[in-house]
Structure 1
Amino acid sequence: MNKFKSFFTFLAFIWLYSCGFWALFRWISVGGIAWLGLAVNALALPVWMILRLWRPARYRGSLREDPAFAAVLLGLAVVLVTDTGKGEPAYLAIYNLFILLAYLFHLSALRQPEMPGVNERFPPLCTVEGQRLDPAAGVREGNIEGLVLVFLRGTFCADSRALLSKLPELGELLNHYNAQLILFSTEDKRRWAHLWRGGQLPEIVQLAEEEEANRPFVAAGGQPLWQRLFRPSTPTAGVCRPGLWLLDGEGFVLWRHLPGNYRTPGDVDLLKGQLSRLGE
């Protein structure tokens, strides 16, 4: 299913780019406001996603991607008003709206597998070095009161980058509650280091995608198709399923956030509101 979604997401964005630039060409060559409206309608989502990847801390996403959604509807409205003959621009603009909705609510949707529940012990995970990481043991050895676990989908993901850019804001609260932040990814930690803006980099654990213990937390084949085509040196095709976890001093789950869409991985404000559970 992950490969299916990656393939059709890739096709969707290729179509939107092609339709948008073709509409610009038609607008320049033959004129007509309808073609300009179609260009806005087609390119709104791709341009918005580029902006989010480029400046994740500034351009924050949401379930509906409101700025892109508004631009798509604006382009559609221009086309419907100006294309009185209901020609190609009108049909293509409506089709592009369908692609946007399919991407927002289906192609980017997540089906989370069975995970440890609240008041259950968080399981050990396996790193690419072959080590077995037991968060509960780490809490005991480190003499800390709790753990905040953040699973990052990948450096290619604007939402993971946006979340990472805000995590330094947790510093004071983590110190107050004597808690430790641990990040999980299937990518090498060096890929994340240049994205961190909060002083000392927290621990980043690289998970082995082929290990059975990691299976609930790693989506095999979840890497976008464009990443595999244009960055073939990437060593893994699996990505972490986004999720936020709060563990107590015994390694039991106090709270968890498992999003139903990879574009809504949770945010720092959500974590801030849950850290007080460590003091209860």
Structure 2
Amino acid sequence: MNKFKAFFTFLAFIWLMSCGFLAIHGFLSDSRGVSNAAWFGLLINSWALPVWMLLRYRFSGNFTGDIRESGAFTAVLLGLAIVLLTDTERGWPIYLAIFNLFVLLIYLYHLSALSHPTLPAVNSLFPSLGIVGSGEGVPEGVSENEEKEHWQAVDYCRENQLSGVLLVFLRGSYCADSRNQVHHLRALLPELQRRNVGLVFWSTQPVRKWSQSLLGLNVGQLSGADTQNAPFVTRCGAPFLLQPWIRDAARPSAWLLDAEGYILWRELSVNYRVPVTAESLRSQLFRVED
């Protein structure tokens, strides 16, 4: 199912971009019965979501997504309104603009939605994770990506003398929402230090793929091939264009554990565009001291 979602998301963006180029062609050519204003409205309607997502990708620290992608949704409706008011002959712009609104809604509420399998419940022990090693001490003839290790929260807390640990699963460095989440979670570091709580980020990508966004933070790479990670990893969850190089993605979620590795609180994102916020995490940190 994830492979189909990635493919249809790719098709949806190709369709919207194509409609935009068609609108430019109609605007520049002499289209009988269709005003230039209608083609201009179709251009806004078609390119609103792609341009909005590009801005969020390039400036992830400044543009924050939400369940409706309010910026893109507003522009799509504005373009549709222009088309409805100006395309009095009911030409191609009015039909394409209405269909583009349908494509947008499908993307927002289905193609980017997440479904989580059965996961550990609150007050249960958090399972060990299969991770890819750092490469130190790798036997000769074995690549770094083949070196598998296991990580346990209780061992991590004991080694670092922590009262608890906060685990945040990130979809990937290619995801604007993951980078935006890391940017905002940096503000939690003083509060976490005061409460003696560790912070660990998990993704299916090597740390070097995150550039400077995770510099100085604890981050680990989940092994996509390890069956222990199946509840936390979406197979073929990466964007369609990246799947020749990046196939799997971590399901966005957050887990607050005590020093013994038991789950005090969790939040499972229902959409990869809306991961858990820093303020939501801040409001739950008191559980470590209870």
When normalised by structure 1's length, the TM-score is: 0.95
Q: What's 1:131 paired with?
A: 149
Partner of 2:167: 149
Query: What one-letter code is carried by the residue in structure 2 that aligns with 1:86?
Result: R
Asked whether 1:187 is paired with 2:191, we answer no
Give the greater-gyration-radius structure (CA). 2
- Supply the AA of the counterpart residue of 2:259: G
Q: 1:265 aligns with which of 275, 280, 284?
A: 275
Q: Does 1:70 align with 2:80?
A: no
- Residue pairs, 1:165-244, within 5 angstroms: 165-196=183-214, 201-228=216-243, 232=244, 234=245, 236-244=246-254
What code does the residue aligned with 2:279 have? D
Corresponding residue for 1:32?
A: 36
Q: Which residue of the partner structure matches residue 158 of structure 1? A: 176
Question: How many angstroms does 1:141 deviate by?
Answer: 2.5
Report the AA paired with residue 113 of structure 1: P
Q: Which residue of 2 aligns with 1:12?
A: 12
1:41 aligns with 2:45: yes
Report if aligned partners of 1:139, 1:145 keep a CA contact under 8 Å in 2. Answer: yes
Q: What is the CA–CA distance in structure 2 between the aligned matches of 1:279 and 1:54, rounded to whole Å?
A: 39
Aligned to 2:289: 279
SS of match in other structure, 2:44: helix
Count, aligned residues: 272
**One-letter amino acid matched to 1:203:** N
| 2:115 aligned residue (107, 111, 118) | 111
Following superposition, the deviation at residue 171 of structure 1 comes to 1.1
Distance 1:60 1:49 in 2: 10
One-letter identity of the residue aligned with 1:92: L
Aligned residue type for 1:22 = L
Between the aligned partners of 2:150 and 2:269, the Cα distance in structure 1 is 26
Question: Conserved in 2, the CA contact under 8 Å of 1:152 and 1:183?
Answer: yes
Gaps of 5+ in 2: 133-146
Distance 1:256 1:67 in 2: 29
Unmatched tracts of structure 1, length 5 or more? none
SS in 1 for 2:29: helix
TM-superposition CA deviations, 1:215-261 (whole Å, max 9, x none): 00001111110223xxx4x3x41110000111011111111110111
Counterpart residue number, 2:138: none
Quick one: which of 89, 92, 99 aligns to 1:95? 99
SS in 1 for 2:283: helix
TM-score by length of structure 2 reads 0.91
Percent identical across equivalent pairs?
Answer: 48
For 1:109 and 1:244, the matched residues in 2 are separated by: 17
* C-alpha separation in 1, matches of 2:157 and 2:148: 20
Determine the C-alpha separation between the residues in 2 that align with 1:74 and 1:274.
39
Q: Give the secondary structure class of the aligned counterpart of 2:105.
A: helix
Check whether the contact 1:193–1:201 (CA below 8 A) recurs between aligned residues. no
SS at match of 2:90: coil
Cα displacement (A) at 1:100: 0.1
Q: CA deviation at 1:55?
A: 0.7
1:58 is the counterpart of 2:62:
yes
TM superposition shift of 1:147: 0.4
| Cα distance in 1, alignment partners of residues 162 and 211 from structure 2 | 24
Question: Residue 210 of structure 1: CA displacement?
Answer: 1.0
1:201 and 1:185 mapped to 2: Cα distance?
A: 16
Whole-angstrom distance in 2 between the partners of 1:37 and 1:193: 38
TM-superposition CA deviations, 1:24-62 (whole Å, max 9, x none): 221122361000000000000000000001111111000
Q: Deviations over 1:105-132 (max 9, x none)?
A: 0001111011111101100001123111
Matches of 1:57 and 1:160 in 2, distance apart? 10
Question: Secondary structure at 1:127's aligned position in 2?
Answer: strand
